[in-house]
Amino acid sequence: MANLKIGLAGNPNVGKTTLFNNLTGLNQHVGNWPGKTVEKAEGHYNYNNNRVDVIDLPGNYALSAHSIEEIVSRDFIVDEDSDVIVNIIDASNLERNLYLTVQMMELGANLVVALNMNKFAQDKGYTIDAKKLSDLLGVPVVEIEANSKIGKDQLLKTIEEAAKNPVNTVNRLSYGPELFDHLNELQTAIEEDKNLGDVPSRWIAIKLLEDDEIILDRIEDSSKRNNILNTTEKVKKHFKDIYNESSEEVIANARYAYIEGLLKEVLTKPATEKKTLTDKIDSIVTNRLLGFPIFLIIMYLMFQITFTVAAPFQDMIDEGFGILGEMVAAALGDGMLTSFIVDGIIGGVGGVLVFLPQIILLFLIISFLEDSGYLARAAFVMDKVMHSLVGLHGKAFIPMILGFGCGIPGIMATRTMENEKDRLITMLIVPFMSCTARMPVYLLLVGAFFAAADQTNVIFSLYVLGIVVAIIVAFILRKTLFDDMDAPFVMELPDYKLPTLRGILMHTAEKSWGFVRKAGTIILAAAIIVWILSSFPAGVEYGSQESAIGMIGTAVAPVFAPLGFGSWQPAVALIFGLVAKEVVVGTFSSLFGVAEEGAGIAAAMHGIFTPLTAYVFMVFVLLYIPCFAALGTIKQETGGWKWPLIMSVTTLITAYVVAFIVYMVGLALGFG
């Protein structure tokens, strides 16, 4: 029984996480856009009495240090003692993928190459001689399909063998005598310092010629610093003289030349590139004329489908809770306990859970978009808008769209942005995207105040408002705190893939379960507190203005009076909604009860809102302070409370100002 450790490395979007899930049985998220995985994930499997720890890494193109997630991978590959690095390669994109392979060989990594996406390579008309590739590279090559069993046994066996008989791949490379002679000169200088012996001197030499900052820092501490740096300069100058190129380019050229030589023997391509399915889809989806309208239509359909398809299911759950409430009331009679169960728990938690169908559907659609490859196209189409309006990337659009599901994965996804300021701005505007937690609030109020035909459009307008406000806030941040240009926009456009049913269902189930769990914990706790505050001091009528909750609400309500909703109930709902926005609904439904005849809540709402003020209230809920979980994620990602605090203050002010403007405009237009 031995313990092995393997890392899964490779370019972005080649199927590393898919393979990780396949090997470990875990469910890390996959997505068809480069940069989905931003953190290492760990799991394990057992094979022949060996426990094999598997680490899934973020994708990278090179072993330089381009963005945070790339550094994570580099550190793992360079510094950790793994037994085997499994290099997953996209067979339809061999040349570029091998560029990373070659760099890992410079490091002497004990590699196993897993050739994935072979079907896509066939579609392009490529034939690959895997055996030849293995011979030439001197490392095992296994053909796999990461999302199925194909090649899995072979891969597991090969990994085990490779762990037993490690090969040092450094010596397999040949970059030509000219480059090697000078590398050797530099290597000799490096080898004089024994402290640098933990990685191959060849690698350090190459990194020095590439001006790699992390390695330069290390050399600063070396006893042989001067000699090493002088030799580096000498070699650099020599290359400049003979090639008229920087050393970095000379090395990149040498790597690609090596790969090209290799591929001459390994890869046969058709004489003319075949038009792939992706080309055909893209001729419509990113078409000059159609691209932009298609983007808007997809966004609109996403919400239209969510609301219309889910509505009947919502009614069913709603009725179910109504019946449950009546049964409890009938069984227990009038009293404190009945009130606690019916008003407190069924009202507070059930009132939120009825919106589960909408939430499941929206997550389903977002997973589909994410897994199909469309998100990268959305970034491509929207880049110009984002760039000229707020100096952000099209890539910033991916976190924003994910934010429609939940802000937390959206905030995490900002890690793919190379520039720290771009990343912060995007992180700060993602919470303005209307996440699924706001949906119950909209659905409750829209159902009570707007005609069926208008409901979807009213909700859609809130989503649009969220985007508009996000863009305005980004613009202001760019002009004030982050006065700078955005980083250059470089993004690979992956091939479209038909998402697997399993992948999408797992992803959706996990997110939806998160919502149910929240209902059973935070929302339940809030419901209980609301019930207690509504029932005391002893003797007051439940949920009346004289109850504790009524008194709190009455004290705060004047703040909201200028926005048109000055009653005490909306005020307490907003206070409790700080925890999580669904609690706004939970609070209303426990205050107004579910077991009441007919449209109990809706009727009660008419006493405190008009259609206009209900809309203003929704605007406020949309924009005000993000939930605790989102603030926590921002704290974790920025390393302190500074940004979550700034965020809370700015969102509160934004919410108040925008809600006020909407109210005034609404009044002026005669909607009062």
Partner 1 sequence: MIKTLNELKTGEEGTLVSYQGGDVELRRHLLGMGFVKGATIKLEKVAPLGDPLELKVKGYAVCLRKEEAKFIKVEV
Interacting residues toward partner 1 by CB under 8 A: 61-62, 64, 66, 92-96, 99-100, 124, 210, 245, 248-249, 252-253, 256, 273, 282, 286-292, 380-381, 383-385, 387, 394, 418, 487-493
Instruction: Determine the interface stretch with ligand GTP among 25-33, 171-179, 432-440, 532-540 (rule: CB under 6 A).
Output: 25-33
**Comparison of 394 and 466: residue with beta carbon closer to partner 1:** 394
- The closest alpha carbon to 98, from 248, 263, 251, 254, belongs to 263
**Shortest approach of ligand GTP to residue 367 CB, angstroms?**
10
Quick one: which of 4, 6, 15, 190 contacts ligand GTP (CB under 6 A)?
15
Residue 255 binding ligand GTP, by CB under 6 A: no
Is the Cα dihedral 232, 11, 490, 398 positive or negative?
A: negative
Number of C-beta neighbours around residue 505 at 10 A: 13
Rounded Cα gap, residues 22 and 43, in angstroms: 11
**Shortest approach of ligand GTP to residue 40 CB, angstroms?**
11
Residue 414 binding ligand GTP, by CB under 6 A: no
Write out 562-590 in H/E/C secondary structure. Answer: HHCCCCHHHHHHHHHCCCCCHHHHHHHHH
**Shortest approach of ligand GTP to residue 498 CB, angstroms?**
7
147 binds, among partner 1, Mg ion, ligand GTP, none (CB under 5 to 8 A by kind): ligand GTP
Residue 32 binding ligand GTP, by CB under 6 A: yes
Rounded Cα gap, residues 577 and 652, in angstroms: 13
**Shortest approach of partner 1 to residue 291 CB, angstroms?**
4
Quick one: which of 21, 24, 32, 37 contacts Mg ion (CB under 5 A)?
37
Q: Which amino acid is at 391?
A: G
CA dist 195 → 170, 212, 220, 515 (Å)? 19, 18, 13, 52
387 binds, among Mg ion, ligand GTP, partner 1, none (CB under 5 to 8 A by kind): partner 1
Rounded Cα gap, residues 56 and 6, in angstroms: 9
CA dist 309 → 29, 89, 450 (Å)? 26, 40, 18
Residue 13 binding ligand GTP, by CB under 6 A: yes
**Shortest approach of partner 1 to residue 67 CB, angstroms?**
9
Phi-psi region of 333 (alpha: psi -120 to 50; beta: other; left: phi over 0): left
Rounded Cα gap, residues 161 and 669, in angstroms: 76
Structure tokens at 536: 């005391």
Residue 371 binding ligand GTP, by CB under 6 A: yes
Residues in the interface with Mg ion (CB under 5 A) total 4
**Shortest approach of partner 1 to residue 109 CB, angstroms?**
17
**Comparison of 150 and 170: residue with beta carbon closer to ligand GTP:** 150
**Shortest approach of ligand GTP to residue 122 CB, angstroms?**
12
Q: Are 552 and 575 in contact (CB under 8 A)?
A: yes
Rounded Cα gap, residues 11 and 34, in angstroms: 8
Rounded Cα gap, residues 474 and 204, in angstroms: 41
Structure tokens at 340: 């606690």
User: Residue ranges of the alpha helices (H) in 593-627?
Assistant: 600-606, 611-623
**Comparison of 164 and 280: residue with beta carbon closer to partner 1:** 280
**Shortest approach of Mg ion to residue 57 CB, angstroms?**
8
- The closest alpha carbon to 69, from 6, 4, 17, belongs to 17
**Which of helix, strand or coil describes residue 655?**
helix
**Which of helix, strand or coil describes residue 13?**
coil
CA dist 55 → 45, 80, 379, 390, 581 (Å)? 11, 11, 29, 37, 35
Instruction: Determine the interface stretch with Mg ion among 16-24, 278-286, 313-321, 420-428 (rule: CB under 5 A).
Output: 16-24
End-to-end CA separation in angstroms for the chain: 76
**Comparison of 26 and 540: residue with beta carbon closer to Mg ion:** 26
Residue 74 binding ligand GTP, by CB under 6 A: no
Number of C-beta neighbours around residue 337 at 10 A: 11
Find tokens 């900052």 and name the residue. 213
**Shortest approach of ligand GTP to residue 43 CB, angstroms?**
13
31 binds, among Mg ion, partner 1, ligand GTP, none (CB under 5 to 8 A by kind): ligand GTP
Rounded Cα gap, residues 193 and 225, in angstroms: 9
Instruction: Determine the interface stretch with Mg ion among 11-19, 121-129, 257-265, 601-609 (rule: CB under 5 A).
Output: 11-19
**Comparison of 57 and 266: residue with beta carbon closer to ligand GTP:** 57
**Shortest approach of partner 1 to residue 186 CB, angstroms?**
19
Residue 90 binding ligand GTP, by CB under 6 A: no
Rule CB under 6 A: which of 136-155 touch ligand GTP? 145-147
**Comparison of 94 and 144: residue with beta carbon closer to partner 1:** 94
Rounded Cα gap, residues 53 and 75, in angstroms: 17
**Shortest approach of ligand GTP to residue 86 CB, angstroms?**
12
Over the window 381 to 420, marking each residue x when it contacts Mg ion by CB under 5 A and - when it does not, the resulting string is: ----------------------------------------
**Comparison of 38 and 341: residue with beta carbon closer to Mg ion:** 38
Residues near ligand GTP, by CB under 6 A: 12-18, 30-32, 34-37, 58-59, 116-117, 145-147, 371, 497, 503
